[in-house]
Chains A and B, each alone.
Chain A
Amino acid sequence: MITILFDGIAYGMLLFVLAAGLSVTLGLMNFVNLAHGAFAMAGGYAALVLVNRLGVPFGLGLVCAFLFSAALGALLERTLYVHVYAKSHLDQVLFTIGLVFMSVAVVDYTMGSSQQFILIPPALQGQVTVLGLDMSKYRLMIIVICGLLTLLLQLGLTRTRFGSRLRAAVDDQRVARGLGINVGAVFAMTFALGSGLAGLGGALGAEILGLDPIFPLKYMIYFLIVVTVGGTSSITGPFLASLLLGIGDVAGKYYVPRLGAFVIYTIMIVVLIWRPQGLFVRRGAR
């Protein structure tokens, strides 16, 4: 029972790191980025090449995955995405689906089609027993890293100047602009940060989720669920939603293996209908 909870939390935290960027971009620019998973995949493969082929230590590989995806995100944001913000949602959907298809083919071409794994150091393999509880070392590490990241994000959002600008821009873009906040720049930064986080998540999650060219398609729906259930006005919403989703998914598979994913989709639809702005939204935020 507790093992299930532990697994669910690890899974949920991973989902949060993967999807956090998406929730911010969606909230800030009202932009539907279905290609978010592609940045996660990019990070995963960047770490894979560094660690497996060039022998870079695992920890450094994770940092590089973050940087790589962040750079890629910034580049694409400035060159391509920026032209699509003003377009309709339909255009955004088409554009990002197109990007997903392209990323799938490009990764397939360059990295091969089979599922690959990042070599993790022996110290992180196997299990550790804490208070009589068997815990996977790797999942424990995920929880620690993602927990720290969540704290950092929360502090960054509430305590720094950038954070307050970002929150202002999310709450009311026009007023923020009027106050002299460069919303475009804030957004570019946020996009890069979100992509970087996704990249880190992709590298961290390769061990659990697997890494193959169709990664962005496989997990797109999970990210979207996190965002829709969690709402886009804070990071606590998506965080709680991720945990709920992670625990729900793992427990569902354990207790009713034949129902599995079914539970999650139902939850999503119910939440969407009941609270279209997300489950964890402060009432009257808008």
Chain B
Amino acid sequence: MTSSSRLAAAIAAQFTDRARWSLLEVLFWLVALSTIWLLPDQHLILAEIVIWALFALSLDLILGYAGIISLGHAAFFGIGAYTAGLLAKHALVGEPVLALLLAGLAGAVFGFLTSFLVLRGTDLTRLMVTLGIALLVRELANRFGWLTGGADGLQGIDMQPVLGLFRFDLYGHTAYIYSLAVLFVLFLLARRIVGSPFGLALLAIKGNPLRASAIGIGADRRLIGIYTLAAAYAGIAGGLLTQTTAFTSLESLSFDRSADGLLVLIIGGTGHLYGGLIGAVVFRFAQDWIATATPQYWQFWIGLFLVLIVLVGRDRIGGWFTPLRRLADRVGAWRPGKTRPTVLPGQGGAP
């Protein structure tokens, strides 16, 4: 065996290892699934958490895996939300799953078109361009009141049953199960993608664009790809929100939504897909709790939290998940007859 083929084998083993499900991951999804039966009167809030999680997951794709800071991710969320809303309101596509795919497609198309603007420039320019685009879309939605309902929101959406079978109920049961299923499918897809050579190339670009291009990884095409994908995810998240609440408004396009999405992701930590999911749980319950305790001043605590999280160091807070995962990896590796491949120097551990 030559050294290069040994290297190739080791790399291949690395890939399999990355793609393998750890015990903790399986546990995570089992817990999520069990809430369907265990917490039936929390389904409303859980559905909302799932939607936040999906939105944060979409942000994680561009921030955690491509290093693009966006202050305007709500643009895609809102476009998805309005697409789903309009399709249902005018009974163009009655079936929610199909409508949801179209909402994702709308997000993707807009994401693709704007990705060219976002590619250019520094962090700061990107920040401003994304913010500007989101504001512009919001203003557009406001202006075209005859279509979007303007400041009054899109009223009078009547949702058809999912797959023609399951009606959306007041208690959020259908909403939650439906959203959770969507999240799971999209999570699987995202997991596949970031573990693929494409995902690794993105990480290389994020780490050092110059070096990445020197070893033949072209940045532009890949960034456009991931940006479009993230936009599709955000569009689906927005579509889900509209479908599960039978309502949408300019709020779905607002700056607050972009900022809250970032916050959710930061709480859970960037760059490991689960960040947004965990962040959404923490964020939503914290918000619920704070808002009930002091409805007028919950913003203060959110603000304080953000300030502290930065002063203390994000990695120290968001990173709490990594050691846990390492532990789970080790637990998962205790399988008789299975030997772990030797870890290549410098490649071990989580990204």
Contacts and interface: CB of A to CB of B under 8 A. Distances in A.
Do the two chains touch directly in the complex (Cβ atoms below 8 Å apart)? yes
Contact size class for A?
A: 35 or more
Contacts of A224: 128, 131
A126 interface: no
B318 to A, nearest CB: 11
Contact of B129 (A99, A101, A258, A272): A272
A115 to B, nearest CB: 17
A100 B143 contact: no
B136 A276 contact: no
Interface in A97-143: 97-106, 108-109
A259 to B, nearest CB: 7
Interface in A203-262: 217, 221, 224, 228, 258-259, 261-262
A251 B127 CA distance: 28
B299 interface: yes
A95 interface: yes
B71 A93 contact: yes
Interface stretch (B33-41, B91-99, B233-241, B306-314): B306-314
Contacts of A105: 296-300, 303
B164 interface: no
Interface string B121-148: 1111101110111011001100100000
Nearest to B270: A90
B305 interface: yes
Contact of A221 (B135, B303, B310): B135
Contacts of A273: 117, 120, 129
Q: How large is the interface on B (under 10, 10 to 19, 20 to 34, 35 or more residues)?
A: 35 or more
A227 to B, nearest CB: 9
A108 B297 contact: yes
A78 interface: no
B139 A89 contact: no
Contact of B306 (A98, A103, A109, A268): A98
B254 to A, nearest CB: 10
Contacts of B300: 101-102, 104-106, 109
B132 A265 contact: yes
B125 A80 contact: no
Contacts of A221: 131, 135, 255
Given A108-B296, A228-B128, A268-B128, A101 B302 contact: yes
Contacts of B117: 269, 272-273
Nearest to A92: B310
B148 to A, nearest CB: 14
B28 to A, nearest CB: 26
Contacts of A217: 255
Interface in B124-176: 124-125, 127-129, 131-133, 135-136, 139-140, 143
A109 B304 CA distance: 15
Contact of A265 (B124, B136, B307): B136
A64 B228 CA distance: 50
Interface string A256-286: 0011011001101100110010000000000
B298 to A, nearest CB: 8
Contact of A261 (B71, B139, B299): B139
Interface of B: 63, 69, 71, 117, 120-125, 127-129, 131-133, 135-136, 139-140, 143, 255, 259, 262-263, 266, 296-300, 302-311, 314
Q: Which 3 residue pairs of A and B lie closest in terms of their CB atoms, listed nearest first?
A: A98-B306, A101-B303, A105-B300
Given A89-B123, A224-B128, 8 more contacts: A83-B311, A94-B262, A94-B263, A94-B309, A102-B307, A228-B125, A269-B136, A272-B132
Interface of A: 26, 30, 32, 80, 83-84, 87, 89-95, 97-106, 108-109, 217, 221, 224, 228, 258-259, 261-262, 265-266, 268-269, 272-273, 276
20 contacts: A30-B124, A87-B310, A90-B123, A94-B262, A94-B310, A95-B310, A104-B299, A105-B297, A105-B298, A109-B297, A224-B128, A258-B143, A261-B139, A265-B135, A266-B136, A269-B117, A269-B136, A272-B117, A272-B121, A276-B122
